[in-house]
Structure 1
Amino acid sequence: MADRTGESDSRKLLGHLREALAEDSAGQERLNRVTEIIASSMGAEVCSIYLLRDSDTLELCATEGLNPDAVHKTRMRLGEGLVGRVAKKKRPINTADAPSEKGFRFMPETGEEVYSSFLGVPIQRLGEVLGVLVVQSKDARLFSEDETYGMEVVAMVLAEMTELGAFVGEGAALAALHQRPATFQGGVGQEGTAMGHVWLHEPRVVVTNPIADDPQEESRKLHEAVETLRGSVDELLATADSVDKDHMQVLEAYRMFANSKGWLRRMEEDIGRGLSAAAAVEKEQSATRARMANVPDPYLRERLHDLDDLSHRLLRILTGQGNSTGAEMPEDPILVASNIGPGELLEYGRKLKGVVLEEGSIASHAAIVARALAIPLLVHVGPITAEALNGDMILVDGESGVVHLRPEETVVNAFRDKVAMEAAQQERYVSLRDKPAQSTDGIRVVLSMNAGLMADLPSLESSGAEGVGLFRTELQFLTQSKVPRRGELARLYSRVLDRAGDKKVVFRTLDIGSDKVLPYMKPTDEPNPALGWRAIRVGLDKPGVMRMQLQALIRAAAGRELDVMFPFIAQLDEYREARTMLRAEVERERRLGHILPKAVRIGAMLETPSMVFAPDAFFREADFVSIGGNDLKQFFFAADRENERVRRRYDTLNTSFLNMIEMVVKRCDAAKTPLSFCGEDAGRPIEAVCFAALGMRTLSMRPASIGPVKHLIRRTDLGALREVIDEARASGAQSVRPAVLEYLLRRQYGPRNG
């Protein structure tokens, strides 16, 4: 505020605001008083505050100069009028001729005259828009740069106070952020339901006093905090001797930002205008996030992300807030985070009831660990980290992908009933644990479990699984900062076999690439990683790690049977080359005098349509074949399973897909090669009985699915179900699901949703 309010006047305005906010008055009175103070300080005829009523609607909540009867009645959509454009674009609009501006909307209900000058700035916190602050004048003039800057400072204070509930009260448009119920939709990374309280992986820092009492003291606090931050960055670099060149360059850039004089100068200027040290840091962080949203270059965006991260660290130092400061985890924690690495998730372990991520993917490292821990996981749930606080009640529905934050009592009761019903069902399945999965017409189906951690193995007994149909070996690589040693892996694999006893364990070799990039592996820039350099392609091109892993598996078996399968085989020669490598390592171990496995069975995962049509030799030479349903389905339908728009569009019980599955069954039967099905669909009861009806005799799934699948198989005549499937296919039906459901329900055979 230059011409009318210099820097001292800026502090004076914030001082008046603090006094108004400290008054013992209702939220509406506070808002009204704020507009009076701002209008007077700016020399403007009008000052108005618009707040978001919902994610798409702004509401006039207070005004000085417009018709007071319009308060809480005048509303507009994001993007509508100049006010709506400010909110949508998250940028100020400053014009001396508002009526001529594109999108101008005259609002006669406010009793306003046509004001020429308009300045609107977003009320936002860390990129999250809460509303718009507007001043208007009759005289045609552009508000100065300093006046605009001053308004942005005031808007930030309003954002902080809105978040802290300063404007909640009788007549207020909104409940305070972090108090009202909120519902979010996301993608299902791991099914299941969970009810508990929020535990933030990186807690949001709340600035409780955005206005400086003593600018000199705030400046001193800032400088001390910056020195502490720089020291921690220097320490990080000092302990990073072993990292590669690229990683070191990133850390050096990180230190450069921490020592940026421009960064510090901008925060000092904010303090000079009346903000506290913490509010000044947060204002700079908001500006950084706004710039990030408009930078197309990925390298520059990543550097801005470094600056954003430094700001967050600095805020933690200034406020002392964060999980590391002694906040107590609730007894029923549901982890909420932007994203999380597999190692960090493993540290939390089974104490978590569920995980909710703003980013992530259904095939990410975190999803793999969540499945191993058997905890519900939702991904792409945004913007929940901006809304949730530690201790908030939260409900996670891993069936429909819905999260209820601070839910209404009616929602809680309905959800509690659902959880109780699921628990009762699981109790019913316990009685089936030691019984075979045998259909009413005498067909036996082997139900195995998927695993990836030692912590999974107790489920072998509790679930009634007949073995481990898929042991994912990549988790030990993904959760460490360097390649595991051969002896370490051999000991782990040996313990897995010990724990399984006489039950079979099928080890899948390292399945990396695509979204599963090792922390110590340089990522490759591929336009479509799912179809790129991954799994067996990496193993054959860079055989050192795969040979070491094969040696560890051979030594772990030591006189016991060993089952190894190679992932993502796309042609016969890949299988042959991998098999030759394994046989060579067995021979090498024999020459070294190590105890060899009692028997070695070498299989392949069928995850690409190319292998459905592979030469007969493939099915004869493979000791066993396992259909990797997740990848096979996305490639068959050309539907990325990370894309919510298309992945649910195609049904597993689609006639074309089942025809392909049946073709694989027939080819394996002709070659007398054992066949299994691994993937999410194997654990869905309706899909599972259909696979069994088509001739699939081994299914591998998460442990929690074994009970429901066994329950349905034991109540189904698979021969009769096969006839239903054949009739549906012959009729030209796109999917056999309707016919199958009708048949099962007619005989009261199980849950409608499978």
Structure 2
Amino acid sequence: MGDGIETESRKLLGRLRDAMASDDAGQARLDKITHLIATSMGCEVCSIYLFRDEDTLELCATEGLKADAVHETRMKMGEGLVGRVAKRKRIINTPNAPQAPGFRFMPETGEELYSSFLGIPVQRLGETLGVLVVQSKAAREFSSDEVYALEVVAMVLAEMAELGAFVGEGAAMSARHSQPVLVRGTVGQEGVAEGHVWLHEPRVVVSNPVADDPVRETERLNEAVDQLRVSVDQMMSMAGGDKDQQQVLEAYRMFANSKGWLRRMEEDISRGLSAEAAVEKEQSHARARMGQASDAYLRERLSDLDDLSNRLLRILTGQGADTGAEMPPNPILVARNIGPAELLEYGRSLRGIVLEGGSVGSHAAIVARALAIPLIVHASRITNDALNGDRIMV
């Protein structure tokens, strides 16, 4: 990648950080960001769509489309090119948008003037928060460097959304984690419980997604990866002759020593991301692929990579499992998954358990039944939606 492109990407991310640090309201920030992106990309249009509910996207800011369309233009998941980007969690890059499969004409936006279309999913840890779009009148396919740069920008937008930088009027710009959420799963152990969320692995917060010094960020990343590799080797030596544990840890070690994994994160840092944001970008991609993978072996390997990324994030941020938070009254454990030994350590103090993964025949389910604790498995997205202390009914 050329130094000039990397420099322009870092400049744009620097401007986005300034926008995030400003005292502007959420709408003003979004408006400023769409202007910055359109100018930097040399495009007539930049638009940001955010979800107002699970199935509906809303145009929340635009540079180039009709201003009256903001907060008025909405589309369902899978509807139009924007909806297809959100549903498939994949980029659409076409020089002739009106002829692309799934195109939907929206006259209220004035988009009939524009031919080229590049849509990037705005996602964090596999959860799609919205879609970032740039358009131009000239019929051209955006280059791989332009696509890569916009992916990095979308990553920062996702972090800003998580940090509440875009809170404003309307459902699409309401504060995250502040609305009731219904999550469906599979019964692992029957029962009813009411209490407060206790996260087995508290969410790692990336407070500064943009790097001030890419060289130093790369050094920090390499130091953390070295520390991670040492910890994996130590776990392998502790596993002894247990073949099952050895197999799992061999997969861990393979990923920890992957040159491609490290190189991709270093490239993201060269584009302007901090070390933490670069790791989370890779983790988001792994989770997105995990949700689309039909092969059980591939899902397991992607799960390994996701877990390894989480360990690396904790090394970089210093946010270990012990955050200093106290277990709330009537705790209901929320986790991606949990082993039987860890569950036994909690004992009968838990009122209920909700797992994003798991199965009704898992060792954790057997322990939950032995302790007569209500258990839900396959509760999709629960670890993204829940925060410590949230009220929860199971």
Q: TM-score range by the shorter chain?
A: over 0.9
The match for 1:314 among 301, 308, 312 is: 312
Residue identity in the other structure for 1:102:
P
Matching residue of 1:136? 135
How far apart, in 1, do the equivalents of 2:364 and 2:240 lie? 28
Name whichever of 275-284 and 107-116 sits farther off: 107-116
Q: Does the Cα contact within 8 Å between 1:336 and 1:355 map onto a contact in 2?
A: yes
Rg larger in structure = 1
Q: Does the Cα contact within 8 Å between 2:156 and 2:209 map onto a contact in 1?
A: yes
Matching residue of 1:283? 281
CA offsets 1:516-558 (integer angstroms, 9 cap, x no match): xxxxxxxxxxxxxxxxxxxxxxxxxxxxxxxxxxxxxxxxxxx
Query: How far apart are 1:127 and its partner, in Å?
Result: 1.2
Query: How far apart are 1:185 and its partner, in Å?
Result: 2.3
How far apart, in 2, do the equivalents of 1:186 and 1:308 lie? 21
How far apart, in 2, do the equivalents of 1:222 and 1:70 lie? 43
Q: Does the Cα contact within 8 Å between 1:165 and 1:177 map onto a contact in 2?
A: yes
Matching residue of 2:338? 340
The aligned runs of 1:10-159 (5 Å cut-off) are: 10-159=9-158
Query: How far apart are 1:355 and its partner, in Å?
Result: 1.1
Task: Provide structure 1 residue ranges, at least 5 long, that are not aligned to the other structure.
Answer: 397-754
C-alpha RMSD of matched pairs (Å) = 2.0
Matching residue of 1:257? 255
Q: Does the Cα contact within 8 Å between 1:2 and 1:146 map onto a contact in 2?
A: no
Residue identity in the other structure for 1:45:
E
How far apart, in 1, do the equivalents of 2:358 and 2:302 lie? 20
Query: How far apart are 1:295 and its partner, in Å?
Result: 4.5
The aligned runs of 1:137-536 (5 Å cut-off) are: 137-170=136-169, 173-244=172-243, 247-396=245-394
Query: How far apart are 1:363 and its partner, in Å?
Result: 4.8
3-state SS of 1:359 partner: coil
How far apart, in 1, do the equivalents of 2:245 and 2:194 lie? 40
Q: Does the Cα contact within 8 Å between 2:118 and 2:134 map onto a contact in 1?
A: yes
The 1:186/1:237 distance shift into structure 2, 3 A limit, reads closer
CA offsets 1:292-311 (integer angstroms, 9 cap, x no match): 34544433443333222211
- Count of aligned residue pairs for this structure pair: 394
How far apart, in 2, do the equivalents of 1:335 and 1:82 lie? 39
Q: Does the Cα contact within 8 Å between 1:190 and 1:377 map onto a contact in 2?
A: yes
Residue identity in the other structure for 2:263:
R
How far apart, in 1, do the equivalents of 2:254 and 2:361 lie? 35
Q: Which has the higher contact order (CA 8 A, sep 6+)?
A: 2
How far apart, in 1, do the equivalents of 2:188 and 2:298 lie? 31
How far apart, in 2, do the equivalents of 1:134 and 1:303 lie? 32
3-state SS of 1:152 partner: helix
How far apart, in 2, do the equivalents of 1:381 and 1:253 lie? 26
CA offsets 1:100-123 (integer angstroms, 9 cap, x no match): 101111110113333111000000
Residue identity in the other structure for 1:146:
D
CA offsets 1:212-243 (integer angstroms, 9 cap, x no match): 12212211211111111011011112222221
Q: Does the Cα contact within 8 Å between 2:58 and 2:172 map onto a contact in 1?
A: yes
Query: How far apart are 1:2 and its partner, in Å?
Result: 7.0
How far apart, in 1, do the equivalents of 2:85 and 2:55 lie? 13
Between the aligned residues of both structures, percent identity stands at 73
The 1:240/1:267 distance shift into structure 2, 3 A limit, reads same
How far apart, in 2, do the equivalents of 1:252 and 1:173 lie? 43
The 1:193/1:172 distance shift into structure 2, 3 A limit, reads closer
Query: How far apart are 1:395 and its partner, in Å?
Result: 2.1
Query: How far apart are 1:338 and its partner, in Å?
Result: 2.0
Q: Does the Cα contact within 8 Å between 1:48 and 1:64 map onto a contact in 2?
A: yes
Q: Does the Cα contact within 8 Å between 1:87 and 1:132 map onto a contact in 2?
A: yes
Structure-2-length-normalised TM-score: 0.94
3-state SS of 2:322 partner: helix
Matching residue of 1:462? none
Q: Does the Cα contact within 8 Å between 2:61 and 2:70 map onto a contact in 1?
A: yes
